[in-house]
A = this chain, B = another copy of it.
Amino acid sequence: MKKLINNPENVVEEMIDGYVKAHPSYVRRLAENDRSLVSSMETKVDKVGILIGGGSGHEPAFMGYVGAGMADGVAVGNIFASPPPAPILEVTKAINKGAGVLYLYGNYAGDVMNFGMAADLAEMEEIQVEMVLASDDVASAPKEEKDRRRGIAGEFFVYKTAGAAADFGYKLEEVARVARQTNENTRSMGVGLSPCSLPQTGEPSFELGENEMEVGLGHHGEPGIRKAQIESADKVADELLANIFGDMTLNKGDDVAVLVNGLGSTPRMELYIMFRRVEQVLKEKGINIYRSYVGDYITSLEMGGCSITLTKLDDELKKMIDHPVDCPMFVQK
Contact = CB atoms under 8 A, between A and B. Distances in A.
Interface of A: 2-6, 11, 14-19, 21-23, 56-57, 59-60, 64, 191, 193-194, 196, 211, 213, 230, 232-234, 236, 258, 264-277, 279, 292, 294-296, 299, 301-302, 304-306, 324, 326, 329, 331-333
A24 to B, nearest CB: 9
A56 B18 contact: no
Contacts of A258: 22
B326 A333 contact: yes
Contacts of A21: 275-276, 279, 292
Contact of A279 (B15, B22, B234, B268): B22
A60 B294 CA distance: 11
Given A2-B304, A16-B272, A18-B271, 14 more contacts: A2-B230, A4-B233, A5-B273, A14-B272, A14-B273, A15-B273, A21-B276, A21-B292, A22-B258, A22-B275, A56-B269, A59-B269, A296-B296, A324-B333
A279 B19 CA distance: 11
6 contacts: A4-B191, A5-B232, A15-B272, A18-B274, A59-B267, A59-B272
Nearest to A10: B273
A34 to B, nearest CB: 13
A23 B292 contact: yes
Question: Which of A14, A16, A232 has most chain B Cβ within 10 Å?
Answer: A14
Contacts of A19: 272, 275
A268 B60 contact: yes
A299 B266 CA distance: 11
The 4 closest A-B pairs by CB, nearest first: A18-B276, A265-B265, A18-B272, A331-B331
Nearest to A6: B232
Given A2-B213, A233-B6, A268 B329 contact: yes
Nearest to A193: B2
B59 A268 contact: yes
Given A21-B276, A22-B292, A301 B4 contact: no
A305 B270 CA distance: 19
A140 B3 CA distance: 24
A4 B306 contact: yes
Contacts of A234: 6
Contacts of A324: 333
Contact of A294 (B22, B233, B326): B22
